[in-house]
Structure 1
């Protein structure tokens, strides 16, 4: 069947075996190594499931899948079914008409005007976390940013006070779910083993616990009778155009869970990488601090946070080198072709964003941290998609960028971070994260 199609160069033999054996432990190294050998696009046929995969770090190919011919592609079963059984049927895992309905309901909550009103709440949460820094503590910024980003999502989107122990429990569950999910995806035959050992059942039970925590937030709001004019109120009162009915509690909880996870996980991971890169580049920190000083109190206004600046350049460059959304997948609904390649219905296209962001075809000195590259007037056309592209562009892009800019500026106005690490260990699960960022906070 595949002979009717013109797939990219295929990985076979020892290299395929190597990819299979090392793909769970080091997916970034394996996929980058495959691209170095086979070029910007390659083909792999799974031995045990007979599934066909095309991996690509080619900008035009990625844009074709995400933009020009997006209607021919759904998020794959990997996300919609495998991840969906843990996280439910929210924006991240949904497809087709159902996804579009949900997107239309939620989109107004992330307009620039709505986000602009959230700065003061973000400000308050940041100050709470930064207050103890007067004592120049030894910290793990990775843990700190996860707590801070989670609290910001809870307060800004859902006006909710979640107990600290519940925040930690949710964070632990999210990590455990991602680790099991990664094994299921990268070693499909291992799913049977995980099932036999009861690991999948236990993980689903944990995800049900996370949903119970979110349901409690929803119940508290309903029982309070308060109108907060936040995203949660909007979701509760929204109605489907075709039926005039509200979302079911199950759908509400699924959407809230996805927004909690996506809203804090990727931002916290990105902040860890941003602060690490700043700690390794004193000239960048000096230039950043100068921008903050020259802007005065205006540095923390919505207008300033949302406009192009050296601060946003630093954030973008760190996310280029360490993109939390390190890969995206799409599954072909019908046979398709792009330039010299063609593939059959059901083929999975893996858009390797980490490879795209370091592809020397598009980037000068691709492995170097150079925030100034985003001063280029053509920056909008760069091979750069940390938030995706096309109709499924991340709904929270503006929210995340404003939040990260505010945290970076609030911190570097008063403090310096001396990292105890010269390198970062990366872990590629659903998102790319580090395992820690230890160092000392110094008041300036």
Structure 2
């Protein structure tokens, strides 16, 4: 190793081989184990690519990369190249000036004021979905939340229904793309095998199919010339500051595809984990229902949904224990250093958010579901970044929180959920997913 740089402790030997291969299907187990052995920061050199990776679950290190020195870090090739070939050139995959230009263009549509205007659209979709439940219903909430969150995104983006077949088709495409993408990232040498058998080309075709569906929706809106005051209208009407020109259709479709994925995938996953935790904590459920009752007629207003509350605490604590964005990757543009460590440009930095959120250095009883911890007046300084941090803080944070709060309150006003599971198995792809969440929904109203 070049003595010019002082990496964190390195994973070597059998543990390295174990990390590279076991990590393909069980990254949380492997990364958590490595941190337990070597501390909050460690280093591994990939044998096949000679790439250097630094993993961190250290709050100060995470803040240094995402905030203090963010200009020295781009989203890595994992997203900017590998994922881009499937999802296009939108906010999620873009870097530099192009990203900043798109961010400035789109961000106004996700302000608290704009999001508040979407409550009635969300309410209608949630009410329709909840009407399907009988006095007692067996269900897998994971699948239910995926369909619900997808329909909410469709309504808030397009103010129109997307039929069930399209929901299933797009969800299937997203899952299959993630499966292949995950293999490409975690076993880079495997890419040649995937290429040989045409798997990557097939995945790109699936992405084109998804984009074609969205393009048809865009064409229909333009033909109708209707103004619906939804997110699609906002995207169509926005203009770049320098040219006063609108986004191209290709850019619009890319942004909408990413909003579809980010807007339903992470929310559905988070809701599944949150409902599991509530089902295991009767006192939290009782307190939640009491708050819903006490809010009275204001319970579903944007003001009530967005203010500090036990409902929001439940969401935050659920996302602390099971953060859908379980890791954040960055690539160093120039040599850098933090405290005693230093590394060259090109180093990949993996900020292990799941580990940070359960790090006993920062959290008392880190594996316990305690929503009240977010009542702390210092909660803003917690080691807590489910939506990222710094300039690339997730643009949809307010949207997601309000949507989840509305769903939780609508559900627990009328129902309770009894889980068949005493633990929820997780699958870490691009996002952290539950395998399932099976149980019974029981009406609590006469």
TM-score normalised by the chain length of structure 2:
0.98
Structure 1: gaps of 5 or more residues? none
Q: What residue number does 2:298 align with?
A: 298
Cα shift at 1:247: 1.1
Aligned length: 444
2:282 is equivalent to residue 282 of structure 1: yes
2:84 is equivalent to residue 84 of structure 1: yes
Q: What residue number does 1:139 align with?
A: 139
Could you give the per-residue CA deviations for residues 86-107 of structure 1, whole angstroms, max 9, x where no partner exists? 1111000000000001111100
Distance in 2 (CA, whole Å) between partners of 1:205 and 1:169 is: 13
SS in 1 for 2:442: strand
Distance in 2 (CA, whole Å) between partners of 1:193 and 1:26 is: 21
Moved more, 294-303 or 87-96: 294-303
The Cα RMSD (Å) is: 0.8
SS in 2 for 1:137: strand
Map 1:9-408 onto structure 2 (within 5 A): 9-408=9-408
Could you give the per-residue CA deviations for residues 236-287 of structure 1, whole angstroms, max 9, x where no partner exists? 1222222222211111100000001000100000000000000011111111
Could you give the per-residue CA deviations for residues 97-119 of structure 1, whole angstroms, max 9, x where no partner exists? 00001111100100111011111
Could you give the per-residue CA deviations for residues 309-343 of structure 1, whole angstroms, max 9, x where no partner exists? 11111111110000000000000000010000011
Distance in 2 (CA, whole Å) between partners of 1:234 and 1:294 is: 36
Distance in 2 (CA, whole Å) between partners of 1:429 and 1:443 is: 34
Cα shift at 1:162: 1.3
Moved over 4 A (4+): none
Cα shift at 1:228: 1.3
- Contact kept? 1:2, 1:344, Cα under 8 Å: no
SS in 2 for 1:134: coil
Cα shift at 1:75: 0.1
Could you give the per-residue CA deviations for residues 350-387 of structure 1, whole angstroms, max 9, x where no partner exists? 00000000000000010111111111111010000000
Distance in 2 (CA, whole Å) between partners of 1:237 and 1:299 is: 33
Distance in 2 (CA, whole Å) between partners of 1:302 and 1:2 is: 55
Could you give the per-residue CA deviations for residues 167-226 of structure 1, whole angstroms, max 9, x where no partner exists? 110001001101101100000011111111111111111111111111111111011111
Q: What residue number does 1:422 align with?
A: 422
Structure 2: gaps of 5 or more residues? none
Distance in 2 (CA, whole Å) between partners of 1:33 and 1:2 is: 26
TM-score normalised by the chain length of structure 1:
0.99
Distance in 2 (CA, whole Å) between partners of 1:35 and 1:397 is: 29
SS in 1 for 2:44: strand
